[in-house]
Amino acid sequence: MKNLNYNELNFREATADDIAQIQIVRNSVKENILLNPDLVTDELCLEFITSRGKGWVCESDNQIVGFSIVDLKERNVWALFLNPNYERIGIGKQLQKIMLDWYFNQTSENIWLGTDPNTRAEHFYRKSGWTEIGIHGNGEIKFEMTQENWKRYCR
C-alpha cells in the first residue's frame, strides 16, 4: 500500500457496478474467511444493497478497499470488510458510522451481527460499543447494538 492520506479516500453508497470489487475485498480477508464463497453470489449482494438494505464502499484510487452492508429485513450487519492492506487507518470505523447512522434513521430496532471469536473484528466491535448477547451460527459471537448505545458511541 502506498503512503495513504485519509482525505484521499472516497466513501459513498454502493451500486450494482461495485459488486465485482466488493467480492474481491470479501475474499481477500485474513480473518472471518468465507468458507464457501459460492454462498455469497453477486445476485445476493445486489439484493442486499438494493432491496433488503443498503451498502457503502470506500475507494482509494478508484479501487474499492472496504465495504459495509446492512440488512433491514433481518436487522443485522450483513457485511463489513476491508482489504487487509487498508486496515487500522479508520476505514472500518467510518463505514460502520455511515451504516449505523443510516440504519437508525430507518428504525429504532436493535441491530445485531456475528463475527468469529478471537479476531480483530471481535475487538473492533467491543471497542465500538457492541454488546455480546450470545453465539450465532457455527460458533460466531453474536453482538447487538441499541440505538441508545449508538448515540452514546458516535458522539
Q: Decide yes or no: CATH 2.60.40.10 for domain 8-153.
A: no
Give the three cell numbers for residue 154.
Answer: 458516535
pTM: 0.92
- Whose cell is 458511541? That residue is 153
Helices (H), strands (E): how many in the chain? Answer: 5, 7
Domain spans of the chain?
Answer: 8-153
pLDDT digits (tens, 9 = 90+) for 31-62: 776 666 677 889 999 999 999 999 999 999 99
Q: Classify strands 140-145 and 10-13 as parallel, antiparallel or unpaired.
A: unpaired
